[in-house]
Structure 1
Amino acid sequence: MLDDAGNPRSSYAKLAQWLEDKPPNFLKRKSREAETIFRRLGITFAVYGAEEATERLIPFDPIPRVISPGEWRRLSAGIDQRVRALNAFLHDIYHRQEIIRAGRIPADLILQNEAFLPEMVGHDPARKVYAHIIGTDLVRVSENEFYVLEDNTRTPSGVSYMMENRETMMHLFPELFQSHRVAPVDRYPELLRQTLESVSPNQAKSDQTVVLLTPGIYNSAYFEHA
């Protein structure tokens, strides 16, 4: 939020002033309110192997991370490129395996991997899309630089927590949304449904049915399934 001289960066100017005007313990009080909301809605995730608790509340930080429109355009283009590259990579290892033959990746790393499915070799999924939902974990390491920590391609969970976080922020801090033009996130379910319908085996049907499979209430991402 602050530069080396301790001054707010331009994208954080309004937020910094808003924080400056708030009384002591304001954020602690709002964090407790958020925790109450999360408990009421049951926004939790399971921690496998943790002895102290099987379920925890999703962590909530009342101070938002601001990503400017210019930053988001650059990030969005880069993420889009990664998603296309990952799907191209999956298509290659199940077809010509040129990346292996070129020596870019050792064959054993792919062929001996427990996630590799020999039954998929030569098979083309609908629209040649292997990963319909990809979670790219980003971290800001400097003012103008982001790193990708990992790409999650096996139907990653987490987007429901983001949506509930946004709802909670709008409830707790409506004035922030009045003073900032915040990009909406509420179209995600609609976009997800369109994505799944787009790979339906019968595109002629107007009443396609999308089915959600869940291991049940003891799964770590059950809140997302619900």
Structure 2
Amino acid sequence: MSETPYFDEMWGHDETLRQPYQQFHDWLHRENPADLRAKQREAEELFRLTGITFNVYGRTEAEERLIPFDIIPRIISGAEWTKLSRGIEQRVRAINAFLHDIYHRQEIIRAGRIPKEMISRNEAFLPHMIGVEPPGGIYTHIVGIDLVRTGPGDFYVL
């Protein structure tokens, strides 16, 4: 067995099937790979039709791209989700606090942590929102959070 630099969601570091994947593993082995590939293509086509895409801004080839999607799910145990949800909620609160500051006191700019031009020249900055308090203080109703697993029970919340 060779040591790998990455953590395999299903098999871990030691090539032992992880408990959260037991039932899924059994199901997966009963499935036809061609059917799974067809389902992947169907999902991608649905994403295209409904506009579930993104652009890579700042590049000359900023064409519309599909949101990366894998028909094979990443399974997170209940205990892992309990831990992760705290980090995810913290990140969302931090994003909302940042936006509140940008549209109100701008302390982060006054403290010199972010240059004013980085905010004022940003296409997403809306000067007419300065001083506006959205309902519940929530600026971000939809937030895309990326999870990166680096080991058993170890994640980065981006």
Q: Provide TM-score, normalisation by structure 2.
A: 0.69
**Deviation at residue 70 of structure 1 after TM alignment:** 0.9
Matching of residues 24-173 of structure 1 within 5 Å: 26-32=32-38, 34=39, 38=43, 43-45=46-48, 59-61=69-71, 63-149=72-158
Distance 1:102 1:55 in 2: 37
State the Cα distance separating 1:60 from its structure 2 match.
Answer: 4.5
SS at match of 1:147: strand
Show CA shifts across 1:38-77 (max 9, x none): 59xx6132677699xx897x8552x321100011111111
Question: What is the identity, as a one-letter code, of the residue corresponding to 2:83?
Answer: R
User: Counterparts of 1:30 and 1:115 in 2: how far apart (Å)?
Assistant: 38
- Higher relative contact order, structure no. (Cα contacts within 8 Å, ≥ 6 residues apart): 2
Identity of aligned residues (%): 47
List runs of 5+ in structure 1 lacking aligned partners.
150-226
Query: Which residue is equivalent to 1:9?
Result: 18
Distance between the aligned counterparts of 1:125 and 1:18, measured in 2? 46
Contact 1:31 1:60 in 2 (8 A): no
Distance 1:81 1:5, change over 3 A: closer
Residue 213 of structure 1 is matched in structure 2 by none
Shift of 1:16: 3.1
CA RMSD across the alignment: 3.2
Deviation string, structure 1 residues 15-49 (Cα, Å, up to 9, x no partner): 334445x37xx2323432x258659xx61326776
Structure 1 counterpart of 2:46, one-letter code: I
